């Protein structure tokens, strides 16, 4: 752009590039979804259509932004993970967060009628907030993912019991809340089984475990893998060659993104898919 006397205002911009060589997690969350879910009559505790819509929007985001390696969703939130070597938007936080938030929101609204064909959207329209957090080690990243999945489990066990007491037990909200105060997981399992014949273990995996999205293929070849491991041991940033980056980009753009409801706390999930964290 041509120089002008106004151009100095550009200098007021603050840099917000995220720390190099760290795993970037962008978490988005539906704004006011307690109200939103009641406006559109989401089934309680879990509306399957709403979860499928969240997953479809997240999948579309991953197709549009190939730099995302894995995503995990529960309720009205989704976490998107960028590889520590990612250089998208020069790792500028505001660019990464706003692009994900707006791409996700657009698809959520675009796909709404597929999942809720009988209830058209009307203002206030669904919107999402977002933030970016850097995790310096694979352990920190895995602990982050575990934190979200534990949250899913705790909330779902509580909500399943709470809504069983109301829907099947005829209790009022306050009464159910009172009864559950101070109870442990074992107590809730017991209430579900003895009062309602529900074995929590048999509840759908999507409700108990949330949804994990990733590309179902081997991302890097063994040579790059070893180079990355070596660079790691020297605590230096991983740098791929330009050609490698280009060919990775192409393969990523083509890869199928799968939606699973698996345990991401135990090692097995990661051990079986070494490309996700390499
Ligand atoms: P905030 O704007 O602060 O995030 P919020 O009302 O969205 O406020 P959350 O803590 O994000 O608060 O809670 C999400 C709400 O949306 C919960 O009340 C949850 O029950 C509801 N919700 C989200 N997804 C579903 C679903 N698939 N089925 C039923 N309810 C859902
Ligand atoms: P980036 O993702 O980096 O923003 P960009 O292609 O969006 O890339 P911008 O600098 O934002 O680059 O430029 C916006 C582009 O959109 C320009 O090429 C501009 O001509 C075009 N554009 C925007 N609005 C209009 C419009 N109303 N009519 C015609 N062209 C438009
Ligand atoms: Mg522009
Ligand atoms: Mg929030
Ligand atoms: Mg919310
Ligand atoms: Mg939430
Ligand atoms: Mg632009």
pLDDT, tens digit, 9 for 90 and up, residues 182-199: 999 999 999 999 999 999
C-alpha of residue 142 to centroid of ligand 1, in Å = 24
Residue 242 CB burial class (10 angstroms; 0-12, 13-18, ≥19): exposed
User: What interface predicted TM-score (ipTM) does this complex get?
Assistant: 0.94
Segment 246-277, tens digit of pLDDT: 777 677 667 899 999 999 999 999 999 999 99
DSSP 8-state code for residue 203: S
Segment 27-82, tens digit of pLDDT: 999 999 999 999 999 999 999 999 999 999 999 999 999 999 999 999 999 999 99
- Say which residues have a Cβ less than 8 Å from residue 4's Cβ, sequence separation at least 6: none
Would you say the C-alpha torsion 210, 216, 222, 224 has a positive or negative sign? negative
Does the C-beta of 34 come closer than 6 Å to ligand 1?
yes
143 assigned to some structural domain: yes
The number of the ligand 1 atom at minimal distance from the alpha carbon of 44 is 29
98 assigned to some structural domain: yes
268 assigned to some structural domain: yes
- Averaged confidence pLDDT in the chain: 91
Does the C-beta of 46 come closer than 6 Å to ligand 1?
yes
The number of the ligand 1 atom at minimal distance from the alpha carbon of 31 is 2
Q: Name the region of 15 (left: φ>0; alpha: ψ -120 to 50; beta: rest).
A: beta
Query: Chain centroid to CA 79: how far?
Result: 3
199 assigned to some structural domain: no
255 assigned to some structural domain: yes
**For 128, phi and psi rounded to 5 degrees?**
-135, 145
Domain tally for the chain? 1
User: Which residues form the domain of 46?
Assistant: 13-152+204-276
| pLDDT value of position 247 | 77
Protein residue with its CA nearest to atom 24 in ligand 1: 75
Protein residue with its CA nearest to atom 25 in ligand 1: 75
Segment 143-159, tens digit of pLDDT: 999 999 999 999 999 99
| pLDDT value of position 239 | 53
CATH number, domain of 215, equals 3.30.70.3000
Please tell me the distance from the alpha carbon of residue 200 to that of residue 207, in angstroms, as a whole number.
11
DSSP 8-state code for residue 41: T
C-alpha of residue 76 to centroid of ligand 4, in Å = 9
Q: What is the pTM of this model?
A: 0.90
> What is the token pair recorded at 24?
């970037």
Does the C-beta of 32 come closer than 6 Å to ligand 1?
yes
6 assigned to some structural domain: no
> Helix 93-115 vs helix 48-64: angle between axes, to the nearest 10 degrees?
130
Contact 72, 145 (CB under 8 A): yes
C-alpha of residue 27 to centroid of ligand 4, in Å = 10
The number of the ligand 1 atom at minimal distance from the alpha carbon of 49 is 27
Does the C-beta of 38 come closer than 6 Å to ligand 1?
no
Cis peptide leading into 124, omega within 30 of 0? Answer: yes
């Amino acid at each position: 752009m041509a120089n002008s006397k106004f151009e100095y205002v550009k200098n007021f911009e603050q840099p917000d590039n995220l720390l190099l060589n760290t795993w970037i997690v962008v978490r988005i969350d539906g704004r006011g979804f307690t109200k939103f879910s009641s406006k559109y009559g989401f089934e309680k505790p879990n509306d399957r259509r709403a979860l499928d819509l969240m997953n479809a929007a997240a999948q579309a985001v991953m197709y549009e932004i190939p730099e995302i390696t894995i995503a995990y969703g529960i309720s009205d939130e989704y976490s998107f993970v960028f590889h520590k070597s990612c250089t998208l938007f020069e790792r500028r936080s505001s660019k990464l967060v706003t692009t994900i938030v707006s791409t996700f929101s657009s698809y959520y609204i675009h796909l709404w009628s597929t999942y809720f064909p009988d209830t058209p959207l009307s203002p206030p329209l669904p919107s999402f907030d977002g933030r970016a957090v850097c995790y310096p080690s694979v352990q920190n990243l895995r602990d982050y993912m575990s934190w979200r999945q534990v949250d899913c489990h705790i909330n779902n066990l509580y909500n399943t019991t709470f809504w069983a007491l109301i829907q099947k037990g005829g209790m009022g909200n306050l009464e159910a809340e009172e009864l559950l105060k101070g109870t442990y997981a074992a107590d809730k399992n017991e209430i579900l089984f003895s009062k309602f014949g529900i074995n929590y273990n048999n509840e759908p995996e999507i409700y108990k475990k949330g949804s994990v999205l990733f590309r179902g293929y081997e991302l890097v070849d063994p040579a790059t893998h070893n180079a990355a491991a070596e660079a790691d041991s020297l605590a230096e940033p991983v740098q791929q060659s330009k050609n490698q980056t280009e060919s990775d980009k192409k393969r990523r753009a083509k890869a199928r993104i799968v939606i699973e409801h698996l345990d991401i706390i135990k090692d097995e999930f990661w051990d079986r898919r070494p490309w996700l964290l390499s």
